[in-house]
Amino acid sequence: MASKKNLVPRRDFIKTSALGLSALSIGLPLNSALATSCGSSGKDKLGIALVGLGNYSKGQLAPSLLETEHCYLSAIVTGTKEKEKEWAKKYNIPKGNIYNYENFDDIASNKDIDIVYIVLPNSMHAEFTIRAAKAGKHVICEKPMAVSVAECKAMIKACDDNNVKLSIGYRLQFDPYHKRIINLSKENTLGSINYVNADFAFTIGDPTQWRLKKDLAGGGALMDVGVYCIQACRYSFGQEPIALRAQAFNSGNEKFKEVNETITWQMEFPDGKISNSTTSYAMSVNSLFVSAQKGKAQLMPSYGYGGIKGFIKDEILEFPKFNQQQAQMDAFALNVKNNTDSIVPGEEGLKDMKVIEAIFKSLEQNGARILI
């Protein structure tokens, strides 16, 4: 592997090697040995199927599943034959645990799969979450949860109806830096919080990618990195917004013929509290600022996979290297094993989607104030 992040810890390597040798002696693939070792119900490690093998799965989720303690990569779902071969070889995925989007529903009979992680374009989240739920599998769905409030509600209902758990891929709520920000309002560390500024934007590259196609993405940067800003404002205040106004800016670049280039919005919270946010595919900003009665807090950079920096009042925040994806997936695996609730359930994604729909409604009405 190319980096230390992808290396299997020595104790796990010894355990895995022993399993591998045992498996080979009786003609089983390595993953089959791991699954047998863990069992199906009540097993030590739950099997996760990644649905969609794009950059996030390839660069973050799959490598993190080599580090998780309570789950492992047991299956993949892809529409690309080349990826089937590449992933099967790299992660020892048995042929019987490789699916495509047409035979996806066959996962219902696969005991190696306990959890399905949906990592597809936004417009496909609802369909595959509902199909996974009907197959009896627990679901992690990447953010944004869906492209409409109606879809979010349908996803929650499908999971409830089929007695499976649903969690949204809000990795930052597991990060120690953001957990400190979340606890500001819970513990009244700085007194009453009165203002939050959350901005996240980057300059997007390939003009042909799905994120710039409205039918796949549902919108531009707001549906991508803007969700982090909505989340940050909500959990920094520890309250839900009651109204908002939004503005859009477009330079005329051909890239943005289907989606907004830049959006800013202001949210109103109870007791006169306000937040301000900007998201864009045409600039670079990555920060969270919190102002309170007894001081201020800031994270900058704030939303990345690592390298977050910040302070709370006079305290410089410093935490050891932390794998957000590992923590997120392990936490959900424990939710499933212990029958507890995710800290980022479907209802959390629904709340963000209500804000997103209000932002788009405000834009349609030339920045009108919209109640949420």
Q: Rounded distance, CA 3 to CA 19, Å? A: 24
| Residue 305 among the catalytic residues | no
Residues 55 and 83 sit within 8 Å (Cβ to Cβ): no
**321 DSSP β-pair partners:** none
Q: Which residue has the tokens 């990592």?
A: 119
Among the listed residues 43, 45, 137, 143, the single catalytic one is 143
Q: How far apart (Å, rounded) are the C-alpha atoms in residues 341 and 94?
A: 31
Cβ 191 vs Cβ 273: under 8 Å: no
Whether the CB-CB separation of 38 and 45 falls below 8 Å is answered with: yes
**Among 160, 329, 332, 362, residue whose Cα is nearest residue 248:** 362
Is residue 228 part of the annotated active site? The answer reads: yes
The token duo for 246 is 């939004």
190 in Cβ contact with 289 (< 8 Å): no
Q: 228, 235, 281, 303: which is the annotated catalytic residue?
A: 228
DSSP character at residue 256? G
For residues 19 and 25, what is the distance between their CA atoms, to the nearest angstrom? Answer: 10
Kind and range of the H or E element at 307? Answer: none
* 1/37 Cα distance (integer angstroms): 25
User: Could you give the residue numbers annotated as active site?
Assistant: 143, 228
